[in-house]
Chain A
């Protein structure tokens, strides 16, 4: 069975500071990893994905994520946070051979002006 853990319910960061939102995963096969963002009263929007290749993946809105196979982690990062980055962030994993995607419980990012 595949699973995703987002250990922080909320992350607070000052505007202009770097941010990290943590994610660890467990799958039996090769992982496909995703980050999605959800703004209030909206559906989830895709940010970035890791399938294979470089461990550092760049995505939308200046976000990037680092895949670490040995630590089974896929942390979301951004060098300089914006107030508009405040939202709910979900990590998700899919076992490469299957279509079912498992989502984490979400981390609320609050960027303080």
Chain B
């Protein structure tokens, strides 16, 4: 059982380049999330999805787009990367509003540097 898998693990971009981060989960979870982690700021929610075909904005959505075409995958896109997007990105999933297990499962992260 792989859980939540993020690819790639590391990436270096030049300002203005685009890229897509892939998150895949094999737990049949309804909900998926993208966070960014920056020193002293904890985790901030970028976008999230409550089911296949749905997406919603989080706290810091500007400069990012997402898609959830398949239940198991949640893609995070940067159309024109900026140095301010240098961060560690985490994907998470959860089974939904199940009272017994509403916590999130996290991937190992993608470390992105934008030069």
How many B residues face the partner with a CB closer than 8 A? 27
How many residues of chain A get a CB closer than 8 Å to chain B's CBs? 22
Contact B99 A106 (CB under 8 A): no
A51-B102 CB under 8 A given contacts A42-B108, A43-B109, A100-B48: yes
Q: Mark A70-109, 1 if CB is under 8 A from B, else 0.
A: 0000000000000000000010001000011111111000
Q: Which residues of B contact A49 (CB under 8 A)?
A: 102-103
The answer to whether the Cβ of B97 comes within 8 Å of any Cβ in the partner chain is: yes
| Cα–Cα, bound, A36→B106 (Å) | 10
A-B contact pairs, 17 of them (CB 8 A): A36-B106, A41-B108, A43-B4, A44-B43, A44-B104, A46-B103, A51-B99, A51-B102, A90-B43, A99-B31, A99-B94, A100-B58, A101-B33, A101-B104, A102-B45, A103-B43, A106-B42
4 A-B pairs closest in CB distance: A43-B106, A105-B42, A103-B43, A44-B106
